[in-house]
Amino acid sequence: MRELFQLDVKGHRLWGTYHPAAAAKPGRVGFLFLNPGHVPRSGHGGLSARAADRLAAQGFPCFRVDLPGLGDSDGPLPDTTAELYQLVCGGGFVEVAEAIHAELLKRHGLDGLVMGGLCGAATTSLYLADRAPEGVAGVFLFEPEFYLSEQEAANADGETPLEDAEKRTWRSRLPLRRVTSKVFSYWGWMRMLTRENEYARLFRYVPFPRQLLLDWLMDWGRLPAVANVPLVRAWQRVVQRGVPVLVITAEGKLRDVFFDRIHRAAFSDLKVAMLERLRLRGTNHIFTTGGAIDACIGHLSRWAGEHFGQDATPVVAVPQVAELRSAS
């Protein structure tokens, strides 16, 4: 069952969907899903909607809310996905997410909300779990992105972005720049090695394994220069506090590789008993292939039952995944 609701927070009118729990219990925990990037609140392939249906059937009230400018909620948006990415990476939606969180707790008399979702939803949820720990009972992060965009990374290193006019001249002078920028670009190589750009198919014909190159490019002991440091710090504090966290990534893809590096660099001395890390094999960043949506929902449901359910029955996970639980 689904109900629609409206929230007026921080000067925005937001729309959301409420999935009432099958069996209401007082003082319970609910789940809040935010937008995966610029995609509406149902998620790619209906991932968020279907996950919320499943959790509600287990006894958890669930909420999916469109942030300002996204889905059905009105509001300003930048012109490009890259600018939206920067906004999210910088915590641009955290304030409004905090207000949503507080309002939902109040309206439904909940003890706490478990927050998360895919990609941008994971970033905002993690920032919020760090900034306002009261009432954030747990975090589920699907394909979290712990790195900045190329432009931001350049700025963070003190490089001044070229003026627009200068950029245009540069492009017009060097039409081959599109190719050379990939050859000499850290990001170009990372995307190629994780098979996320148009040249990835070339790796079929390259006689050395991608993983060796990746290991060579990566300095596993240090945070990468492109790391979103405030988010990594938030991540460390949240995990250190013992907040239950579920991380699911697409095995071998860009976020998966980065998460591994972040994990090794930032968690060597952290207690991670409440962290569960899963990798889904044979899928993409948005989980729309390889049976990943079913697998993801299955794992979220089981994890919810284990951590937040009292008499809820955990659901058996769908078996096409590689499970790597973190060492406790």
Partner 1 sequence: MQALTEAPGYLSQGEQSLYFVHHRAPGSCRAAVVLAGPLGLERAHAYIVWTRWARHLAARGVDALRLDYRGTGESTGRFEDMTLPCWEADLRAGLEYLRRERPGVPVVLHGLRLGALLAARVFQTDKVDGLLLWDPPESGRAHLMEVLRRKVAADNLEGTGGQARSREDYVAELEAGGFMEVEGFPWSRGFWRSAEAYDLALPARDDARPWRAVHLDGRPAERCLAPGHGRSVRAPRPFFWTTSNRLLPELGELFDDGASFAAGVGAVEVSKGASS
Where does this chain bind partner 1 (CB under 8 A)? 2, 4, 8, 11-13, 15, 17, 38-42, 44-47, 49, 69-72, 74, 77-82, 84, 195-196, 198, 200-201, 250, 252-253, 282-284, 286-291, 293
Residue 189: closest CA among 207, 170, 167, 215: 215
Question: Minimum distance from CB of 223 to partner 1 (Å)?
Answer: 27
Q: Residue 64 forms beta bridges with which residues?
A: 17, 33
Shortest approach of partner 1 to residue 35 CB, angstroms? 10
Q: Shortest distance, CB of residue 36 to partner 1, whole angstroms? A: 9
Under a CB-based contact definition with an 8 Å cutoff, are residues 34 and 115 in contact?
Answer: yes
Q: Nearest CA to 37 among 96, 3, 102, 83?
A: 83
Smallest distance from partner 1 to CB 29, Å: 24
Compute the least distance from the CB of residue 51 to partner 1, in Å. Answer: 12
| Secondary structure of residue 167 in the 3-state scheme | helix
Beta carbon nearer to partner 1, 155 or 284: 284
Residue 181 vs 225, nearer CB to partner 1: 181
Q: Which is nearer to partner 1, 15 or 267 (CB)?
A: 15
185 vs 271 by CB, closer to partner 1: 185
Q: Supply the minimum distance, in Å, between the C-beta of residue 16 and partner 1.
A: 10
Q: How far is the CB of 161 from partner 1 (least distance, A)?
A: 17
DSSP 267-290: -TT---TTEEEEEETT--TT--ST
Rg (CA), the chain: 20
Q: Which is nearer to partner 1, 56 or 232 (CB)?
A: 56
Distance in Å, CB of 202 to partner 1, minimum? 11
Q: Of 291, 321, 304, 287, nearest to 43 (Cα)? A: 287
| Residue 64 contacts residue 117 (beta carbons within 8 Å) | no
Structure tokens that stand for 197 in this block: 């750009």
Q: Which is nearer to partner 1, 230 or 282 (CB)?
A: 282
When the beta carbons of 134 and 205 are compared against partner 1, the nearer one is 205
Say how many residues make up the chain: 328
C-alpha span between 227 and 275 (Å, rounded):
20
Nearest to 101, CA basis, from 69, 139, 71: 139
Supply the DSSP string of 94-159, one letter for each residue: HHHHHHHHHHHHHHHT-SEEEEEEETHHHHHHHHHHHH--TTEEEEEEES---B--HHHHHHHTTP
| Residue whose CB is less far from partner 1, 36 or 138 | 36
Task: Tell me how far, at minimum, the Cβ of 278 lies from partner 1, in Å.
Answer: 16
Cβ-based nearer residue to partner 1, 28 or 58: 58
Q: What is the DSSP string of 23-55?
A: S--TT-EEEEE--STTS-TT-GGGHHHHHHHHH
CA 51 to chain centre: 15
